[in-house]
Amino acid sequence: MFRQVILSVADNRLVSETIKRYGFQMGARRFVAGETLDDAVRATRAMNQEGIAATLDHLGESVRDRAEAEQAARAYHELQARLHAEKLDANVSLKLSMMGIDVDRALGIEQTRELVAEAARLGSFVRIDMEDSRYTDVTLNAFRDFWSLYPGHVGAVLQAYLRRSSSDLEALSDEPRNFRIVKGAYNEPPNLAFPAKADVDDHYRALVEQSLAAGHYTAIATHDERMIGHALRYIRAHNIPKDRFEFQMLYGINLGGLRELTREGYRTRVYIPYGTDWYAYFTRRLAERPANLLFFARALWNR
Q: Which residues contact ligand FDA (rule: CB under 6 A)? A: 129-130, 157, 159, 182-186, 221-224, 248-250, 253-254, 271, 285, 288-289, 292
CA pair distance 80, 73, nearest whole angstrom: 11
Catalytic member of 180, 267, 269, 285: 180
Dihedral sign for Cα 164, 170, 175, 176, please.
Answer: positive
Nearer Cβ to ligand FDA (224/260): 224
Q: Using an 8 Å Cβ cutoff, are 154 and 119 in contact?
A: yes
Shortest CB 271 distance to ligand FDA, Å: 4
Nearer Cβ to ligand FDA (97/222): 222
Is 180 an active-site residue?
yes
Catalytic member of 57, 127, 129, 285: 129
CA pair distance 267, 291, nearest whole angstrom: 29
Q: Using an 8 Å Cβ cutoff, are 222 and 245 in contact?
A: no
Is 30 an active-site residue?
no
- Radius of gyration of the chain from Cα atoms? 18
CA pair distance 128, 130, nearest whole angstrom: 6
At residue 119, the 3 state secondary structure works out as helix
Shortest CB 218 distance to ligand FDA, Å: 13
Nearer Cβ to ligand FDA (83/182): 182
Q: Is 111 exposed, middle or buried (0-12, 13-18, 19+ CB in 10 A)?
A: buried
Dihedral sign for Cα 82, 88, 89, 90, please.
Answer: negative
Cα-based distances in Å from 67 to 43, 76, 170, 216, 289? 29, 14, 37, 36, 35
Shortest CB 250 distance to ligand FDA, Å: 5
Shortest CB 98 distance to ligand FDA, Å: 12
Nearer Cβ to ligand FDA (26/85): 26
Nearer Cβ to ligand FDA (211/248): 248
Shortest CB 67 distance to ligand FDA, Å: 25
Active site residues: 129, 180
